[in-house]
């Protein structure tokens, strides 16, 4: 069998969108799971839509996601050039062959000697292919009109150029979005006209939002460009993991998968026929799992730029490290540290209902008052605060939950949370005491 060769063929018309990233990732996984080649070809024939820097940013974001490729415009390779505008002579040569064979014809622009070339669609023919995702698909040629292969400016259309390139680049499998299903019979016509082998096609389902509507680039409710996730402090391994699950699932019941795991489990027969739902909650969950596994140092590196951008003073590395270690468990992505920071320092103080219940269930007031007294005298570093709690315990002869809970609830409003002495030392004496005062007030009024 021929070596597997697949390609990702973006038009450099903008930033790397989630949908395109998925196409690239699935082709990459397909190649890597079968010891094949993965190449990148730039389809830039829609000249008006090309944007400056579009190609570079696509490649940059694919690299960030952890992809690598064997051939591309920036890397070269044996079947280049890898930009369509650099291959115009080849398209012209093959369009002329079809003209000579009588399978295409010229269509002159009115009052000009310029002409487009149209493919002459065979009458009454059925085009059948076995889609890797959807099974057998059939199309009737009578439903397809003679289509333009080369425009009157000499530039080929997508449907023509794609076949010439896929053939000469020895592409064996084509995984792409379902919007290309109806292009496939047109492309098959060209393969057949030249007597070339037809690659296998697989058309992936659309990606939908939670309302089951197709993701549109204008949809503001979902962040859709890879570069935006990067800016928000999502992790590339998590993004790759999440995107690989958009329309594919492994045979094992496991959702957190490294790139190597995914390559090992990748099986194109498990590509889904049903639309893939973009689940924002799941993305946050997956990212959080990867964030949790980061070392404290790596987590600080992730968070620091976000804190800085929000105008938070990060000049004291000990303070930054303490803050990060305090919030690490709860952070789903880098930029979220800022929200958590604000909630921690500036959030309003309220006692959760179950916590209030606890405070009222036993004599907690004396513990809270004693704790306040100790804190007032302390230097308020984490060790001092720990000592203060112990002293209260000794003096009042309380321990365990009856000691720790009142201290925690009176200063944080909650029964659970990160290490209390550390949290309080970051919060500062003034805020801690004022929260305790508020708690005492609540308890005394209610008493
Ligand atoms: N340039 C096309 C696109 O971006 C490629 C389609 C294909 O893979 O054949 O949709």
pLDDT, one tens digit per residue, over 340-396 is 999 888 888 999 999 999 999 988 999 999 999 999 999 999 999 999 999 999 999
165 lines ligand 1 (CB under 6 A): no
CA separation for the pair 225, 19 (Å, rounded): 9
Q: Nearest CA to 325 among 296, 348, 354?
A: 296
User: Among residues of the chain, what percentage have pLDDT more than 70?
Assistant: 99
pLDDT of residue 395: 95
User: What average pLDDT score do residues 177-190 get?
Assistant: 97
Cα 211 to middle of ligand 1, angstroms: 27
pLDDT of residue 343: 87
Confidence of residue 446 (pLDDT cuts 50, 70, 90): low
What is the per-residue pLDDT across 70-101, written as a single tens digit (0 to 9) for each?
Answer: 999 999 999 999 999 999 999 999 999 999 99
CA separation for the pair 403, 418 (Å, rounded): 17
User: What average pLDDT score do residues 125-150 get?
Assistant: 97
pLDDT of residue 184: 98
pLDDT of residue 408: 97
pLDDT of residue 425: 94
Cα 159 to middle of ligand 1, angstroms: 9
Calculate the average pLDDT of the chain. 95
User: What average pLDDT score do residues 186-198 get?
Assistant: 98
pLDDT of residue 362: 87
Cα 8 to middle of ligand 1, angstroms: 8
44 lines ligand 1 (CB under 6 A): no
What atom in ligand 1 is closest to the CA of residue 187? 9
Q: Is the pLDDT of residue 23 over 60?
A: yes
What atom in ligand 1 is closest to the CA of residue 183? 9
User: What average pLDDT score do residues 184-204 get?
Assistant: 98
**Which amino acid residue places its CA nearest to atom 8 of ligand 1?**
176
Q: Is the pLDDT of residue 261 over 50?
A: yes
pLDDT of residue 344: 87
Q: Is 426 helix (H, G, I), strand (E, B) or coil?
A: helix
Cα 158 to middle of ligand 1, angstroms: 8
β-strand pairing of 200-204 with 37-40: unpaired
* Residue whose CB lies within 8 A of the most ligand 1 atoms, among 163, 173, 180, 181, for a mutation test: 180
pLDDT of residue 200: 98
β-strand pairing of 148-150 with 200-204: unpaired
233 lines ligand 1 (CB under 6 A): no
pLDDT of residue 2: 84
pLDDT of residue 447: 46
Q: Are 388 and 371 within 8 A, CB to CB? A: yes
Q: Nearest CA to 438 among 356, 380, 363?
A: 356
398 lines ligand 1 (CB under 6 A): no
Confidence of residue 1 (pLDDT cuts 50, 70, 90): low
| Exposure b/e, 39-71, CB count within 10 A at least 16 = b | bbbbbbbeeeebeeebbebbbebbebbebebeb
Cα 175 to middle of ligand 1, angstroms: 9
10 lines ligand 1 (CB under 6 A): yes
**Which amino acid residue places its CA nearest to atom 10 of ligand 1?**
10
Find the DSSP H helices in 169-279. Answer: 184-194, 226-231, 236-244, 259-265
CA separation for the pair 241, 257 (Å, rounded): 6
What atom in ligand 1 is closest to the CA of residue 175? 8
Q: Is the pLDDT of residue 443 over 50?
A: yes
User: What average pLDDT score do residues 146-159 get?
Assistant: 97
**Which amino acid residue places its CA nearest to atom 3 of ligand 1?**
10
162 lines ligand 1 (CB under 6 A): yes
Cα 174 to middle of ligand 1, angstroms: 10
Cα 396 to middle of ligand 1, angstroms: 74
């Amino acid at each position: 069998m021929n070596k597997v060769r697949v390609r990702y063929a973006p038009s450099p018309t903008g930033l790397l969108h989630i949908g395109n990233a998925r196409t690239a990732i699935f082709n990459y996984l397909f190649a890597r799971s079968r010891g094949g080649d993965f190449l990148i070809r730039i389809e830039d024939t829609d000249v008006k839509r090309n944007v400056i820097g579009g190609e570079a940013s696509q490649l940059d974001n694919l690299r960030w996601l952890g992809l690598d490729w064997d051939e591309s415009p920036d890397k070269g390779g044996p079947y280049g050039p890898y930009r369509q505008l650099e291959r115009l002579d080849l398209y012209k040569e093959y369009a002329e062959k079809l003209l000579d064979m009588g399978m295409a014809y010229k269509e002159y622009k009115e009052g000009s000697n310029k002409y487009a070339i149209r493919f002459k669609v065979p009458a009454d023919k059925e085009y059948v292919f076995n889609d890797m995702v959807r099974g057998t698909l059939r199309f009737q040629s009578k439903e397809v009109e003679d289509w333009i292969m080369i425009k009157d400016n000499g530039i080929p259309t997508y449907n023509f150029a794609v076949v010439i390139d896929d053939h000469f680049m020895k592409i064996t499998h084509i995984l792409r979005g379902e919007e290309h299903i109806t292009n496939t019979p047109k492309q098959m016509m060209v393969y057949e006209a030249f007597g070339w082998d037809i690659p296998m096609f697989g058309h992936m389902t659309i990606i939908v939002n939670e309302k089951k509507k197709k993701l549109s680039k204008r949809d503001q409710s979902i962040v859709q460009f890879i570069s935006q996730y990067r800016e928000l402090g999502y992790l590339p391994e998590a993004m790759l993991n999440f995107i690989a699950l958009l329309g594919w699932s492994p045979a094992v019941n496991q959702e957190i998968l490294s790139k190597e795991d995914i390559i090992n489990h990748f099986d194109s027969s498990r590509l889904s026929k049903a639309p893939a739902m973009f689940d924002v909650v799941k993305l946050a969950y997956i990212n959080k799992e990867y964030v949790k596994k980061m070392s404290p140092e790596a987590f600080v590196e992730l968070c620091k730029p976000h804190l800085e951008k929000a105008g938070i003073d990060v000049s004291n590395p000990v303070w930054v490290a303490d803050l990060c270690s305090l919030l690490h468990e709860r952070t789903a992505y880098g930029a979220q540290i800022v929200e958590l920071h604000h909630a921690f320092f500036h959030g309003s103080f309220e006692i959760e209902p179950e916590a209030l219940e606890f405070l009222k269930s036993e004599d907690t007031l004396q513990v809270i008052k004693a704790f306040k007294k100790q804190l007032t005298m302390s230097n308020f570093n984490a060790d001092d605060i720990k000592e203060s709690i112990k002293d209260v315990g000794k003096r009042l002869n309380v321990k365990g939950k009856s000691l720790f809970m009142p201290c925690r609830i009176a200063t944080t409003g909650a029964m659970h949370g990160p290490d209390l002495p550390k949290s309080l030392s970051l919060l500062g004496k003034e805020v801690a005491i004022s929260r305790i005062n508020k708690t005492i007030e609540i308890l005394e009024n209610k008493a």
